[in-house]
Structure 1
Amino acid sequence: MSKIAVIYKSTYGATKKYAEWISEELGADLIERDSAKANMLIDYDIIMYSGGIYASSISGSDLVSKNACKHLIVFTVGLTNPETMDYTDIMHRAFPNQNIQPQKVFHLRGAIDYGKLGFLHRNLMKMLNKAVEKKAESEMNEVEKVIKDTYGKQVDYINRESIRPIIAYIQGIA
């Protein structure tokens, strides 16, 4: 039996919820990113890393992008629809070292509640929304469309069924 760790970085709880579900389904160790250390990675056959997408970056991904793992699986959590979003630039920024790349990447939809955003995130979203308001919808990229559609609202796209492909993939390599 493979030893599996699910390491996550969650700011508002969506990523944590997915990480808990995956850890539960796989019987994996659940580790919050701030508690994880590079030397821990060698103790596991499979590392699953998850971070929320903020400002086109994967939160906390430096742990796994700078330290090789036997099997590294990444799942991101963001508001954009994975079926229409191109994550290429985000993945290149998160994993610039060609020698350390995830074996497989999954993208899941998260949630936002503007009433619970911290000062920095609330003001960042306000600035982004002002820029988006000046554009015609036909000129907006996927992120800008999501900002337009969700600004000021409470939106929850979290879905337990969306972890099924991740579970199946891990069970296939474990």
Structure 2
Amino acid sequence: MKKLIIYGSGYGTTRTYASRFSEMTGIPVMNYEDMQSLSDYGLIIHFGGLFAGGVKGLRKTVKAMNDDTALIIVTVGLADVNDKENTDNIKKSISKQVPEKILKNTQVFHLRGGIDYSKLNFKHKTMMTLLYRKAKSLPEEKKTAEITAMIETFGKKVNFINFESLSPIMDAVQ
């Protein structure tokens, strides 16, 4: 069965995970912006950064696949991947991008990424500043793990990359 790793990365963290996973497995890796049809593949592993409530590149990947292609989704974001509320929110977002007939047979994994505010473009810096100001004013009981992580890391360079967290994905691929 032909396998392919697709990634959607904004600033490099997701690409770093996807590239390392490719090295570990020997599966070719490609940016979602460069892909065409995925009809020849039996398994797609989509690594996607979490941006504005979605998984980067996932919608395009799903549209390029056959309905019977196996899919593994790997999300990469700032918030704690062990926080159920956070992962539930991610799953809700994925369900808006992936049709139920595909999603029901899809495995989903979550990885922690990083951010370097000095590398954000103007649009993203502005958006993050507005989100930060809004988040800071929320009552403590309304601050989710994702919001707390964003507040704690605002304006900084943080890196939570952990290549050991790729092991469960490796098990799922074999």
TM-score normalised by the chain length of structure 2? 0.90
Listed as ranges, the matches of 1:49-68 within 5 Å are 49-66=46-63, 67=65, 68=67
1:100 to 102, 115, 122: 102
Letter of the 1:105 partner, please give it.
V
Identity %, equivalent residues: 34
Answer whether contact 2:79 2:150 (CA < 8 A) is retained: no
Question: Aligned-pair RMSD on alpha carbons?
Answer: 1.3
1:161 to 161, 164, 174: 164
TM-score normalised by the chain length of structure 1? 0.90
Q: Which residue does 1:5 correspond to in 2?
A: 4
Number of equivalences: 167
Answer whether contact 2:81 2:112 (CA < 8 A) is retained: yes
Provide structure 1 residue ranges, at least 5 long, that are not aligned to the other structure.
Answer: none
Q: For residues 49-76 of structure 1, what are the alpha-carbon distances to aligned partners after superposition, in whole Å with 9 as ceiling and x for unaligned?
A: 1110011111111123333352111101
Structure 1 residues 58 and 125: CA distance shift in structure 2, 3 A: same
Answer whether contact 1:9 1:33 (CA < 8 A) is retained: yes
1:150 to 135, 148, 153: 153
Structure 1 residues 69 and 11: CA distance shift in structure 2, 3 A: farther
Q: Which residue does 2:32 correspond to in 1?
A: 33
Answer whether contact 2:132 2:151 (CA < 8 A) is retained: yes
Q: For residues 114-148 of structure 1, what are the alpha-carbon distances to aligned partners after superposition, in whole Å with 9 as ceiling and x for unaligned?
A: 11111111111000011011123222112211111
- Flag as ranges the 4+ runs of structure 1 deviating above 4 A: none
Query: 1:160, CA displacement in angstroms?
Result: 0.7
Letter of the 1:23 partner, please give it.
S
